[in-house]
Amino acid sequence: MLIVLVGPSGVGKSTISRKLAERMHLKYIVSATTRAKNEKDDLGKIYDHVDEETFFKKLENGEFLEYATVFDEYYGTPKRPTLDYLANGEDVLLEIDVQGAMQVRFQYPDALMIFIMPPDEASLLQRLRERGRDTEESIEKRFRGAKREIWMAKGSRAFDDMVINDDVERAVTEISRLVRQKKSPGGI
């Protein structure tokens, strides 16, 4: 099964993804990005950092399952090993942007698509500030983008469910339940 977690910056996708992949023995796919690596990367989501030329060469060669432009940088999910794992009957976890999720929904209508929501706007803004990665200007830009993504996700009907991350363990347990439910006869 293809499991896709989506949500705005600061909502806790990376933490949830790591815990969910470990708990459910999912194959986590590392995204490629043109964003420069910084010292905080080792504390969060893992990326394959590539230059724009390499990224566009991979894009032209059809090597991405999905791709998106997020805050002026490019991100993409490699088709391989994603499709190889699925062909071998393994469950795969993607942690991607809402733009990429729309592409995946179109290509893989049976994917389990879950949007991670913040408890409220104030909590999301606080989380963005506590990450210590961005300038105040960048935080405000990400916050505006987050509100836009939430609006887009709610209006798109592309997601099977929305899970509020008010407590990481509770969110992981809820997503685990959704995965088991989808895998059961009749599914979601």
CA gap 157, 136 in Å, rounded: 32
In the chain, what are the domains? 2-183 (3.40.50.300)
With 60 as the cut, is the pLDDT of residue 183 above it? yes
Q: What is the arithmetic mean of pLDDT over 164-187?
A: 93
| Residue percentage of the chain with pLDDT more than 70 | 95
**Burial track 104-121 (b if 16+ CB lie within 10 A, e otherwise):** bbeebeebbbbbbbbeee
Q: What is the pLDDT of residue 64?
A: 96
CA gap 53, 2 in Å, rounded: 29
Q: Which of 32-46, 68-82, 125-139 has the highest mean pLDDT?
A: 68-82
